[in-house]
Amino acid sequence: MDKYGGAWPTMVTPYDEKAKIDIAAYRAIVEWYVARGVGGVYANCLSSEMYLLDEGERLTLVAQAVQAVRGRVPVAATGNLGATVDEHIVFCRRVADAGADVVMLVVPPFYENDADLERYYSTLAEQVDAPLGLYECPVPRPYHLGVDLVRTLARSGRFHAYKETSCDLSKIHFLLHATRDTPLSLLQANTPYLLRSIQAGGLGTMSIAAIWLPDLVASVIEKGRAYDPDAVRLHGELCLMEMVQRVVHPQGAKVLLGRRGLPITGRSRHPTSPLTPEVCYALDRAADRWFSADGSLVVLHESQ
């Protein structure tokens, strides 16, 4: 199997007026991603508000994404959710049964060092008959895996995707070397270092920028691999746009997806929303500059 690469959006969850998952909108967003050349989609992650969904809703996101992509791109989904290791194993198996191509494993909060985590991940690799991935989810606490641990897991042959979130360029380089000649693809999440990581041998990214800018992220990756001079300009625009969205995530990404023509609003289950009238006004004015009337990106028109 080829290593994973390309732009992987960490998918948001659209809700209807009753705060229920809007399945039709969700599938439309998946189709839109496939049409814009993503390398895969990540359903049921922090951007999806996975901690605010019940188990059935999490599985719905996975199954619906799998059905919508129809095998055209792979689907990743978080599996090890629950209070105990046994619960993690059970839900990982359910995520795999729902059709996920790779079952992502967050860093559980009840382990404090890499030695314990190596034993934990090895246990899940023995108990879950599916390709696995690693996810340094910043909630409920940030924890970055050590390079030696990642190397060990990569060489096991059981791990295939790594959503790495250190935002440390030096560590990214070490991890690229540690995962070389293994099935594990480093899909680091940082946008400012995206171009540098691609030109150092990285294959792609799982990122919040790809939620609403999948075509721009994909273009930076493609042009970066080819050392196209236009990659620098596009990456600079991407960094600017992503920084604007960061302060209102995930609601801001939903609003900006809506401005690109997708059937989604900024509705969220988070108890407080950063989408004040002022923020919404600012996002609209930024979107007026970034998007054409049909939702396409002005910056990509300029590169043609």
Would residue 281 count as lying in a domain?
A: no
Would residue 51 count as lying in a domain?
A: yes
Would residue 24 count as lying in a domain?
A: yes
Would residue 52 count as lying in a domain?
A: yes
Would residue 178 count as lying in a domain?
A: yes
Cα separation of 304 and 293, whole Å?
18
Would residue 254 count as lying in a domain?
A: no
Query: In this structure, what token pair is assigned to residue 274?
Result: 């950063």
Would residue 148 count as lying in a domain?
A: yes
Cα separation of 94 and 272, whole Å?
31
Q: What does each of the 304 residues of the chain score in pLDDT, given as a tens digit?
A: 789 999 999 999 999 999 999 999 999 999 999 999 999 999 999 999 999 999 999 999 999 999 999 999 999 999 999 999 999 999 999 999 999 999 999 999 999 999 999 999 999 999 999 999 999 999 999 999 999 999 999 999 999 999 999 999 999 999 999 999 999 999 999 999 999 999 999 999 999 999 999 999 999 999 999 999 999 999 999 999 999 988 899 999 999 999 999 999 999 999 887 789 999 999 999 999 999 999 999 999 876 6
H or E segment and range at residue 75: strand 75-78
Residue 195 sits in which domain range?
6-228
**CATH of residue 115:** 3.20.20.70
Provide the number of structural domains found in the chain: 1
Backbone angles phi, psi at 206, to 5 degrees: -105, 110
Classify 107 in phi/psi space as left (phi over 0), alpha (psi -120 to 50) or beta: beta
Classify 131 in phi/psi space as left (phi over 0), alpha (psi -120 to 50) or beta: beta
Would residue 267 count as lying in a domain?
A: no
Tell me the pTM: 0.97
